[in-house]
Amino acid sequence: MSSWIPTGGGLRDEDWARRHRLLTSLLAACVVALTGFGALGTGLDQSWLVSVLLVLPCVVLAVVLPPRRLPSIFVALGFTIACGGFVAMSQGLTESHFTFFIAVAALALYRDWAPFGVFLTFTTLHHAVFGAVVSHRTYDHDSAYAHPLLWAVLHGVAVLCAAAFQVIAWRLTEAEERRAQESLDDSQAQLSLAFDETPTPMAMLAPDGRLLRTNAAYRNWLGLPDDLPAGLAVPDLPLRAVDSDNLTLFEQLTEAIEPVTVTRQFQHATDGALIWVEIHSTALRDPQGRLRLLFVHCIDVTRAREHEAELRHQVRHDSLTGLLSRSAFEDDVAALLADHPEPVCVLYLDVDRFKSINDGAGHSCGDEVLRALGVRIERCVPENALVARLGGDEFVVAVPAPLEAGVRIGEAVLAAVAEPLTVADGRLQLAASIGLAVVQGAGRAGQGVLAADTAMYAAKRAGGNRLEVFNDRMRVSVRERLLAEARLRQALDGDRDATLPVWFQPIVAAADGRILGAEALVRMRTPEGEILAPGHFITAAEETGLVVPLGEHVLTSALRHLLLWQDELGYVSVNVSPRQLSEPGFVPMLAGLLARVPTLAPHRLVLEITETALLATSVDLQERLGAIKALGVRIALDDFGTGYSSLTWLQSVPADVVKLDRSFVAGLADDVRKSSIISAVLWLARSLGMTAVAEGVDAEADWQALRAADCPAIQGYLFSRPLPAPDFDAMLRRSTVLAAV
């Protein structure tokens, strides 16, 4: 039973005050209503006067007494008097008793037993006392006059029944509110747990910037006390935005309609540390769109920003020298030309004979030299200059200046490079070749670097240790290189078997002219159908790096044809450029191609490497060649005899084949010295377990001289020019038929 009895008094102060004002106003309105009823009906008699004089003090006391119980009791008493007065003024009319039922419902709004009980008590007393004393003003029928107590009980029970249902409604409301409160408490507990215990700094802010609530992570992050001072606002935080003030940032967050994320750099007032903070803000607004609350959570992204900056620095700078990287230099030069209408001088520097430093003193010494050169170059150029290391021993400088100033800068760099350099093992005397070009206008950065590169090669051809300025004669060469590059890119993008056909030149036995093998030689077919020799595009391929996909195409085509001619041809040799040999992915690529033709013996593929390639390659030569040999592929030393250290290479390079350069072969029959050299080289090759091929055999007499010297194989126009694959196939089959006959 107790579970059905409401506890009462559960209203919040503001809710009670609002209801009390309403009921007090209604009580005051009852005075006006009684006066109007008396004036229009029975007259302003003694009943009216007594009622008004008793109700008015109740209204006054309800207003002036402190909340809550006493004011509500006087409101209940006033309603009892008003209802009783109305009954008396109505001469006990039964319908006038309905006002008591209305008052019961009204006083239930207090949800308090005190005013409710007072009204019920005084209502029962009114019906009993006044029913007995002045029956004719309390009831309007004879039975009530004769038995006033009975009718007092009847009326009291009716009022109590009405009150009972109000109590039940009151109790049900309390139960619903309790369940709602429990649900709210549970939600708030979950919110508090999620808010207070999360490691992410979080805060709730009022529209005026005051901190309403913060979690422990937020306070620890900013070094705030657990008990925040009252009225602590955004400007009071020990954190200041670097690129704007705190109020401006707060206004940006409060004005946002949708959730917003901003990243700002802040300075901590305590130690002055700079941090990057990612702020996620969500605004809570009322139905009218007015801001009620701002919820923010802050993520310290300083480490992530620093890591990103470090990665950007690594991408934009050379890891060895700290200078700009190739890609960063290209971007910055393009921006420089777009922003500055004046001329820009581009200086392209290459260290003379740097390969000998790496081979003689080791790569660590070479790295030390490159770092020192980077420092020297930076000291010689203006502060607004761009300095980059493009790779290897190549450096490039771009500076806004006319040609005369560029020449002075280039000469200063030459002088700085020539100063003796102290390294771990002693002192080195360096020299460099520099190319200078002047470029002007947006979008011409690539042309400027290419022109400077061309001028640098001219300086090298002139003996090195000098500065060459790009001129009109070189401009023709640049145009040709650009055209060759465009053609090559177009060919690589098309059907490579059609645009870059591989031709074959036979390698024959010197004794009887049998076809032993073939050299694969790439050609280019232009859109107009013209066939171009490698001299028209190989240089551009080397300089642009396009020789890597080009070389892979030649290897793929050579292996495919070698598989086709498996029973007719002994081997195919393929030229490998310095750029290909330097690529870290070259050996894995070669292994992958061989894996596609498992029925083909790897020794039937020969890679031709020139002495120039060996000198130009900065990788560990022995390791790279050893990896190639480990695949079973043979190696040929091409153009042997053209370099100053050819005999040395015979001892140090694990070659299987020596290809004698055409300069030794041409006119061999009429030159005794050449004949002696050829005989010596052939003897040395045999003693080292190598075979030999003589290139450029164009005359019958030279063939006979090579046969007399016991050269095992020869190659040249005397037997055949390079042929397209179908023509070579036909020649190979004729040779096979003749050999069978």
CATH of the domain spanning 319-470, picked from 3.20.20.140, 3.40.50.620, 3.40.50.300, 3.30.70.270: 3.30.70.270
Question: Alpha-carbon distance 512 to 430, whole Å?
Answer: 53
At 370 the three-state DSSP class reads helix
Q: Across the strands, what pairs with 576?
A: 609
Looking at residue 520, its pLDDT comes to 96
Q: Where are the domains of the chain?
A: 2-175, 198-306, 319-470, 546-731
Three-state SS string across 458-510, please? HHHHCCCCEEEECCHHHHHHHHHHHHHHHHHHHHHHCCHHHHCCEEEEEEEEC
Question: Alpha-carbon distance 689 to 654, whole Å?
Answer: 10
In contact, 266 and 243? CB cutoff 8 Å: no
Looking at residue 624, its pLDDT comes to 83
Residues of the chain under the 50 pLDDT cut? 1-2, 618, 644-645, 737-741
Q: What are the structure tokens assigned to 315, written together?
A: 């991408």
Question: Alpha-carbon distance 654 to 642, whole Å?
Answer: 19
Q: What are the structure tokens assigned to 305, written together?
A: 């920003």
Looking at residue 646, its pLDDT comes to 55
Question: Alpha-carbon distance 539 to 577, whole Å?
Answer: 10
CATH of domain 546-731: 3.20.20.450
Distances in whole angstroms, Cα of residue 414 to Cα of each of 58, 69, 368, 417, 629: 109, 102, 18, 5, 42
Looking at residue 194, its pLDDT comes to 67
Looking at residue 440, its pLDDT comes to 87
Positive or negative, the CA dihedral 694, 699, 703, 708 is: negative
Question: What Rg do the C-alpha atoms of the chain give, in angstroms?
Answer: 52
In contact, 650 and 614? CB cutoff 8 Å: no
CATH superfamily ID and name for 198-306: PAS domain (3.30.450.20)
Q: What are the structure tokens assigned to 103, written together?
A: 């008052």
Q: What are the structure tokens assigned to 87, written together?
A: 């009954």
- Tracing tokens 């000998």 back to the chain, one arrives at 356
Phi, psi of 426 (to 5 degrees): 145, -150
Question: Alpha-carbon distance 154 to 365, whole Å?
Answer: 118
Question: Alpha-carbon distance 569 to 556, whole Å?
Answer: 17
3-state helix, strand, coil in the chain (%, to 5): 55, 20, 25
